[in-house]
Amino acid sequence: MARPPRKPADPGPAETPPPGRRHRSRGGMTLSELAQIAGVSPMSASRALNAPALVSPAILAKVQAAVASTGYVANRVAGGLASRRSRLVAAVLPSLAGSVFEPMVQSLFVALAQSDYQLLLGQSGYGVQQDHRFLEALIGRRPDGLVLCGVVPSAEGARQLAAARLPVVETWDMVASPIDMVVGFSHESIARAVAEHLLRHGHRQFAFVGGDHERARRRGKAFASAIQAGGKSRNEPVSIVLETAPTPGTVRGGREALRRILARQPKTSAVFCSSDMLALGMVTEAQARGIAVPGQIAIVGFGDASFSADIRPALTTVRVDSEAIGRKAAHCIVERAEGREVANAVVDVGFSLIVRETA
Amino acid sequence: MARPPRKPADPGPAETPPPGRRHRSRGGMTLSELAQIAGVSPMSASRALNAPALVSPAILAKVQAAVASTGYVANRVAGGLASRRSRLVAAVLPSLAGSVFEPMVQSLFVALAQSDYQLLLGQSGYGVQQDHRFLEALIGRRPDGLVLCGVVPSAEGARQLAAARLPVVETWDMVASPIDMVVGFSHESIARAVAEHLLRHGHRQFAFVGGDHERARRRGKAFASAIQAGGKSRNEPVSIVLETAPTPGTVRGGREALRRILARQPKTSAVFCSSDMLALGMVTEAQARGIAVPGQIAIVGFGDASFSADIRPALTTVRVDSEAIGRKAAHCIVERAEGREVANAVVDVGFSLIVRETA
DNA sequence: CTGTTAGCGCATTCAG
DNA sequence: CTGAATGCGCTAACAG
């Protein structure tokens, strides 16, 4: 007794009063059903939902009543397919855990939500490794835009992004040759500001501690250059050691890094850390060893974490306006997704050096 | 010169050799195009992509070659619509910023990715407020499951979730009457363990500091009950004050809370904090005021944050296996999404009291 | 194992 | 302002 094909040309006796749907189990009500209940055409219901201004008050009221009584929730995957706009934005970050990007992602999320876009998450790990795997997964959702948070795509990844013809915003450290749009800050400028501050306070032997990834190494080099340049312009001998700590930065990582630094360059008197967690570790280790902070060693953090102002001694650190980055990145994506041009494809939100007690 | 309807029955002269598509600008290549290039039927191409075992090696090879040469990325929104499976899981958390849920969300993310599911993010704020707004947005994507991370849905929200007939996992504190599945730990058990530890060490005047939301208040009450019970069984007078600090917990919040506690109950000798950040604040404030930790005041944190073992004094805290929670939640969702039953709909991952220096 | 047919639930397009 | 027709790109269900 073979079942007939799905719904063949079967103008036979109407066995099922409603047009005999198949699997009305998952997915809930459809727009057509809603429209039927409201007593309007599906198209009017669609408009009442998406462009209320285009329908008469009467229809609007009927549809809204039907929504209220049924709890109808539109199927956005169908809508996305039909309209070719998913209202989805993909965000790629190295890792969720212990990441310094959270405040940025948070504000990105909120700003996007306000424009009725949702966030799809991707994680890259910190490497420039095979990101094409998960990039494909994201691209397959046909997001209306993509935000890279402190992530540098591989050449292959960049190609995929280009092929997908998506609005892309790179955030955090600004990169030299952006794929599309960039919102962030200049680590060179920050390096110079920190170097200048420290040199002015008489320090001559420095250290830098960054994560164990390419981006951090570039920051270390920028800081080293700034220190060298400052020494030269002052005609004073300076020295600097570059250390690395596991990413994401931890107190333990900071403590261990300080030990290594002091082993390599015992008279180090100032350290610039790529995160406040690392800096907290440095302070902790220094205290444990009876080294005065900032008396014997000055410590500068990065990020102005929530705890930085309130620990003792309070951390001197570099603050970047993560919220602004998230917000502006969202703006860039939304504008482009709606077909408008974005005037400033490269936005530098700047930074500020917050001088507190540790330096 | 009215344009003809979109593509009406127009068997006229074939003007465009390929079947005259409309807007081949966004969205990239289609499966049919891929199939054509590979020289197979669309359905074979689909199978080669999604169920390679069902096609002959010859077809598989052809399709894979075509994918490699074109960079084809399947459109999952179309696939989702057709198959009624989005391979999307929605995760709701109070906030991304400074949240204690990150390690859990991280492992949830990874575990889901391994089963080829992606994470759609939702934020609720800590309140039990109008979550139905963004719940609708999530449900509209027709996710295959939903994970609530430390979030209690409102009655309205719970109704929507029920109506959506989704697999739902509530995580973190286990709730008394779950919507569907639960993975987490028992705050009552934790309260008892901490109370017992503290009582055994001779403490009699306690404080509890939690966030300013319902869930935290329940934890505070559980701790108070455990303390009272412990005092009664020992026949010793005990007292406890309940304080609250802004969520998410910060060092500043902890410092301020300690001040209030000491103002209310000067002889407080043991404090249980609902997060390690708060505990760090307490330690900081105590040190700033010359109060010895743990000599004069013992402090117990919660969460075993990355810094807790490495600060001085090292934090005594309660560890929960966040990774396990994320992993198991993912398992629950995936199993149900694939139509299998989940044997343990309620999973307690337990906890451990990590005794270090502060208590 | 392979191909054909018929939609998934919605929005775009155009004619009223 | 409203509605009917059409198909977004893919897969389920069948028949070979």
For the stretch A12-24, pLDDT in tens is 333 333 333 334 4
Question: CB–CB of A63/A69 below 8 Å?
Answer: no
Q: How far A102 CA sits from the closest chain B CA (Å)?
A: 5
Q: How far B104 CA sits from the closest chain A CA (Å)?
A: 9
B131 burial type by CB count under 10 A (0-12 exposed, 13-18 middle, 19+ buried): buried
3-class DSSP state of A34: helix
Give the CA angle between residues B86, B35, A142 to the nearest 5°: 35
Tokens standing for residue B140: 């509209």
- What distance in Å separates the CA atoms of residue B241 and residue A268, rounded to the nearest whole number? 47
Question: CB–CB of A115/A338 below 8 Å?
Answer: no
What B283-286 contacts at long range (C-beta under 8 Å, 24+ apart), as own/partner pairs, is B283/B254, B283/B311, B283/B313, B283/B315, B283/B358, B284/A310, B284/A311, B284/A312, B284/B251, B284/B254, B284/B255, B285/B254, B285/B255, B285/B256, B285/B258, B285/B259, B286/B258
Q: What is the pLDDT of residue A16?
A: 35
- What distance in Å separates the CA atoms of residue A352 and residue A354, rounded to the nearest whole number? 6
| Phi, psi angles (nearest 5°) of residue A66 | -65, -40
Nucleic strand D within 7 A of Cβ B54? no
* CA proximity to A205, closest of A284, A271, A282: A271
The residue lying closest to nucleotide D15, measuring its CA against C1', is A5
- What distance in Å separates the CA atoms of residue A287 and residue A299, rounded to the nearest whole number? 12
E strand or H helix at B207:
strand B205-211
Q: How far A319 CA sits from the closest chain B CA (Å)?
A: 16
Nucleotide nearest to B53 (CA to C1'): C1
State yes or no: cis peptide before B5, omega within 30 of 0. Answer: no
Using the Cβ of B250 and the Cβ atoms of chain A, whether some distance falls under 8 Å is answered with: yes
E strand or H helix at A300:
strand A298-302
Measure, in angstroms, how far nucleotide D4 C1' is from residue A43 CA: 9
Q: What is the pLDDT of residue B26?
A: 60
Task: Map tokens 């009624």 to a residue.
Answer: B84
- What distance in Å separates the CA atoms of residue A112 and residue A92, rounded to the nearest whole number? 15
For the stretch B214-260, pLDDT in tens is 889 999 999 999 999 999 999 999 999 999 999 999 999 999 999 99
Question: CB–CB of A165/A107 below 8 Å?
Answer: no
- What distance in Å separates the CA atoms of residue B207 and residue B186, rounded to the nearest whole number? 20
Please check the confidence at residue B22 and state whether its pLDDT lies above 90: no
A 43-82 → B contacts, CB under 8 A = 71, 73-78, 80-81
Edge-first strand listing for the sheet containing A298-302: A239-245, A205-211, A270-273, A298-302, A316-319, A352-354
Nucleic strand D within 7 A of Cβ B165? no
Count of A–B CB contacts within 8 Å? 172
Facing residue for B310 by CB, picked from A122, A165, A252: A252
What B153-161 contacts at long range (C-beta under 8 Å, 24+ apart), as own/partner pairs, is B153/B128, B153/B179, B154/B128, B154/B129, B154/B130, B156/B130, B156/B131, B156/B132, B157/B131, B157/B132, B159/A71, B160/A71, B160/A73, B160/B132, B160/B135, B160/B136, B161/B135
Tens of each residue's pLDDT in chain A, 359 residues: 333 333 333 333 333 333 333 344 466 899 999 999 999 999 999 999 999 999 999 999 999 999 999 999 999 999 999 999 999 999 999 888 877 899 999 999 999 999 999 999 998 875 545 677 789 999 999 999 999 998 888 888 888 899 899 999 999 999 888 899 999 999 999 999 999 999 999 999 999 999 998 889 999 999 999 999 999 999 999 999 999 999 899 999 999 999 999 999 999 999 999 999 999 999 999 999 999 999 999 999 999 999 999 999 999 999 999 999 999 999 999 999 998 989 889 999 999 999 999 98
Facing residue for A310 by CB, picked from B28, B139, B284: B284
Tokens standing for residue B53: 């075992």
Question: CB–CB of A359/A286 below 8 Å?
Answer: no
The residue lying closest to nucleotide C3, measuring its CA against C1', is B41
| Residue partners of A223: CB distance under 8 A and separation at least 6 | A191, A194, A195, A206, A208, A240, A272
Chain A span 121-180 residues with beta carbon within 7 Å of strand C: none
Strand partners, B347: B183
- What distance in Å separates the CA atoms of residue B307 and residue B311, rounded to the nearest whole number? 6
Measure, in angstroms, how far nucleotide C6 C1' is from residue B27 CA: 23
Residue B105: closest CA among chain A residues belongs to which residue?
A: A96
* CA proximity to B203, closest of B195, B192, B193, B215: B195
Confidence of residue B155 (pLDDT cuts 50, 70, 90): confident
